[in-house]
């Protein structure tokens, strides 16, 4: 991409490699495969700089340095230093030239993480990020037109950074405990971060007429508001047109409204064009949806990862497969203290429903994960088993209790202990309950009524 001189900078604010401590050897090996895949893909996509986050150091400095050797992009961190010498371990910043502008990019790590880090890597230290950023931004300003911070400080410290450092032009955030996206301006400095775990790309389009330092972005809430109004008008117009197409009727009131909207739309567009000779930027979060076509080279690497990852887990599962218990023994083995009683217990009174359920995808939901190389991902188990997060945290399929495999009756109707009688069973399963798992992303074709038919509970013969 860069060889072709295209004007895009690709950045990552850190916490790229790991999510949580790797408790077993299998998980460690799987995580290493994922690290290889990530680095390979980031190389392919041509990332320009990646900040270091706390979680990237989970396997120690040496590991990250070795990973850095494989990366074609620089890892940056302005405040991760050698404790003895006080010198930075990675590049503190990079300067990228784009469209004739020089953009200084540096990374910051939260020093609240320092004690844990020093326990793991006693030779490392994290400098106080705000003062580090002030000194670095001042020196970069001499050579750079814009300064971008890749931050792992978390939301509140990002705001503090913006309040105390006017030299910065943009903060791309990350880190901390927050899982929400941030799009705000503090002290005229935009701060952006996306929801974690790679579901989105953030895109900031810059359009500059005046590039003399210091570059000011005159675009403000006025333009944003005009754009929002324009978007609302367009959305309403589309809705009216689609309603008319559906009904097949050309209703006079709707046609009048449509004409009015089109007139307003033209006026707004004119006003926006008049603002066109100002410097501005626009931020857009882009969801990485299933409908986006796969890149062939990267999907090949993903498939190789799937195959290798699958080898790590599957032998263990093969041994588990034969553990089918007779019904009576199964019921007898269900722990008395468990609030979940298992579909096998429901069978006693709801045999037809049980038999219908056995034929559904819900019944095989845990096995679906086994069959897929992705099954090692514990977050999948919340929706591919029963009782996860309520009677325990399942990490792998093997950890699902034998009587709660698949999406059983209690996953939708609630815990069965005490039923019939004083139990908490919900007779009617609401759309909201289904939507816990059948989200727009995970289940784009979900239709409440149609899916209700599929799960077999309504069939009583």
Helix or strand (DSSP H, E) at 280: strand 280-287
- Measured CA to CA in angstroms, residue 434 lies from 251, 360, 400, 444 at distances of 37, 15, 21, 13
Q: Residue 410 CB, nearest distance to another protein (Å)? A: 21
Residues 56-85 that bind another protein (CB under 8 A): none
> Which CB atom, from 197 or from 316, has the smaller least distance to another protein?
197
User: What token pair was written down for 321?
Assistant: 């497969």
Helix or strand (DSSP H, E) at 375: none
User: What token pair was written down for 435?
Assistant: 């939507």
Q: Residue 181 CB, nearest distance to another protein (Å)? A: 10
Cα(407)–Cα(43) distance, rounded to whole angstroms?
Answer: 39
> Which CB atom, from 192 or from 403, has the smaller least distance to another protein?
192
Q: Residue 445 CB, nearest distance to another protein (Å)? A: 12
Q: Which of 140, 144, 172, 346 binds another protein (CB under 8 A)?
A: 172
> Which CB atom, from 105 or from 457, has the smaller least distance to another protein?
105
- Binding flag, residue 147, another protein (CB under 8 A): no
> Which CB atom, from 208 or from 234, has the smaller least distance to another protein?
208
Residues 208-247 that bind another protein (CB under 8 A): 208-209, 211
Handedness of CA 411, 415, 421, 426 (dihedral sign): negative
Q: Which of 29, 34, 91, 229 binds another protein (CB under 8 A)?
A: 34
Beta-bridge partner residues of 193:
182
- Binding flag, residue 277, another protein (CB under 8 A): yes
- Binding flag, residue 41, another protein (CB under 8 A): yes
Collapsed DSSP state (helix, strand, coil) of residue 49:
strand
- Binding flag, residue 314, another protein (CB under 8 A): no
Q: Is 107 exposed, middle or buried (0-12, 13-18, 19+ CB in 10 A)?
A: buried
Beta-bridge partner residues of 101:
98
User: What token pair was written down for 290?
Assistant: 């299933």
The answer to whether 169 and 146 have CB atoms below 8 angstroms apart is yes
Residues 324-383 that bind another protein (CB under 8 A): 374, 377, 379-380, 383
- Binding flag, residue 305, another protein (CB under 8 A): yes
> Which CB atom, from 204 or from 433, has the smaller least distance to another protein?
204
> Which CB atom, from 79 or from 309, has the smaller least distance to another protein?
309
Q: Which of 15, 77, 385, 405 binds another protein (CB under 8 A)?
A: 15
- Measured CA to CA in angstroms, residue 153 lies from 15, 162, 187 at distances of 11, 12, 17
Q: Which of 164, 295, 393, 398 binds another protein (CB under 8 A)?
A: 295
Q: Which of 3, 7, 62, 246 binds another protein (CB under 8 A)?
A: 7
Q: Which of 68, 104, 173, 416 binds another protein (CB under 8 A)?
A: 173
Find, among 279, 136, 135, the residue nearest to 215 by Cα: 279
Handedness of CA 180, 181, 186, 189 (dihedral sign): positive
> Which CB atom, from 225 or from 294, has the smaller least distance to another protein?
294
Rg (C-alpha) for the chain, rounded Å, is 27
> Which CB atom, from 398 or from 426, has the smaller least distance to another protein?
398
The single-letter DSSP state of residue 104 is E
- Binding flag, residue 320, another protein (CB under 8 A): no
- Binding flag, residue 192, another protein (CB under 8 A): yes
Work out the angle at residue 232's Cα, subtended by the Cα atoms of residues 279 and 199, and round it to the nearest 5 degrees: 75
Q: Residue 96 CB, nearest distance to another protein (Å)? A: 10
Q: Which of 9, 130, 331, 429 binds another protein (CB under 8 A)?
A: 9
Q: Residue 188 CB, nearest distance to another protein (Å)? A: 17
> Which CB atom, from 261 or from 397, has the smaller least distance to another protein?
397
Cα(379)–Cα(271) distance, rounded to whole angstroms?
Answer: 48
The answer to whether 132 and 79 have CB atoms below 8 angstroms apart is yes
Applying CB under 8 A, the span of 34-42, 324-332, 387-395, 416-424 interacting with another protein comes to: 34-42
Instruction: Label the pairing between strands 93-98 and 280-287.
Output: unpaired
Quickly tell me which residue has 């359920």 as its tokens: 357
Q: How far apart are the first and last CA of the chain?
A: 61
Applying CB under 8 A, the span of 64-72, 76-84, 295-303, 324-332 interacting with another protein comes to: 295-303
Instruction: Please provide residue 93's backbone torsions phi and psi, each rounded to the nearest 5 degrees.
Output: -155, 165
Q: Which of 244, 367, 443, 452 binds another protein (CB under 8 A)?
A: 443
The single-letter DSSP state of residue 407 is S
Q: Which of 175, 310, 342, 416 binds another protein (CB under 8 A)?
A: 175
DSSP-assigned states of every residue in 110-172: -GGGHHHHHHH-TTEEE--HHHHHHHHHHHHHTT-SEEEEEEES-HHHHHHHHHH-TT-SEEE
Applying CB under 8 A, the span of 109-117, 193-201, 244-252, 427-435 interacting with another protein comes to: 193-201
Q: Residue 95 CB, nearest distance to another protein (Å)? A: 14
Residues 81-140 that bind another protein (CB under 8 A): 98-101
Cα(39)–Cα(71) distance, rounded to whole angstroms?
Answer: 6
Q: Residue 196 CB, nearest distance to another protein (Å)? A: 4
């Amino acid at each position: 991409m860069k060889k072709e001189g295209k004007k895009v900078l690709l950045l990552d604010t850190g916490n790229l490699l790991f999510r949580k401590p790797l408790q077993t050897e299998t998980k460690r090996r799987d995580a290493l495969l994922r690290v290889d895949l990530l680095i390979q893909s980031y190389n392919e996509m041509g990332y320009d700089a990646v900040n270091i986050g706390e979680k990237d150091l989970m396997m120690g400095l040496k590991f990250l340095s070795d990973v850095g050797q494989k990366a074609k992009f620089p890892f940056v961190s302005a405040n991760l230093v050698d404790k003895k010498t006080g010198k930075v371990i990675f590049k503190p910043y990079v300067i990228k030239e784009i469209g004739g502008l020089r953009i200084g990019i540096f990374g910051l790590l939260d020093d609240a993480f320092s004690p844990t880090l020093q326990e793991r890597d006693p030779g490392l230290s994290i400098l106080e990020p705000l003062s580090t950023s002030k000194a670095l931004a001042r020196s970069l300003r001499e050579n750079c037109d814009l300064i971008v911070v890749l931050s792992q400080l978390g939301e509140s410290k990002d705001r503090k950074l913006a309040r105390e450092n006017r030299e910065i032009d943009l903060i791309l955030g990350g880190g901390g405990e927050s899982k929400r996206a941030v799009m705000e301006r503090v002290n005229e400095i935009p701060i952006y971060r996306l929801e974690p775990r790679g579901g989105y790309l953030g895109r900031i389009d810059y359009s500059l007429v005046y590039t003399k330092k210091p570059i000011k972005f005159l675009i403000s809430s006025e333009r944003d508001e005009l754009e929002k109004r324009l978007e609302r008008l367009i959305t309403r117009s589309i809705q009216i047109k689609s309603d008319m197409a559906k009904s097949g009727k050309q209703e006079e009131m709707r046609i009048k409204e449509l004409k009015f909207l089109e007139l307003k739309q033209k006026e707004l567009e004119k006003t926006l064009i008049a603002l066109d000779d100002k410097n501005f930027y626009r931020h857009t979060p882009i969801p990485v949806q299933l409908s986006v076509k796969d890149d062939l080279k990267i999907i090949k690497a993903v498939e190789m990862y799937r195959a290798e990852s699958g080898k790590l887990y599957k032998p263990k599962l093969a041994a588990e497969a034969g553990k089918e218990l007779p019904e009576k023994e199964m019921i007898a083995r269900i722990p008395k203290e468990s609030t979940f009683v298992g579909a096998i217990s429901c069978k006693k009174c709801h045999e037809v429903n049980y038999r219908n359920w056995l034929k559904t995808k819900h019944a095989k939901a845990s096995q679906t994960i086994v069959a897929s190389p992705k099954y090692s991902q514990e977050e999948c188990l919340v929706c591919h088993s029963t009782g996860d997060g309520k009677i325990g945290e399942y990490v792998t399929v093997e950890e699902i209790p034998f009587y709660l495999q698949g999406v059983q009756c209690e996953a939708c109707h609630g815990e069965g202990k005490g039923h019939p009688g004083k139990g908490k069973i919900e007779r009617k399963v609401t759309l909201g309950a289904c939507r816990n798992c059948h989200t727009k992303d995970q289940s784009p074709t979900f239709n409440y009524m149609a899916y209700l038919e599929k799960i077999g509970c309504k069939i009583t013969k």
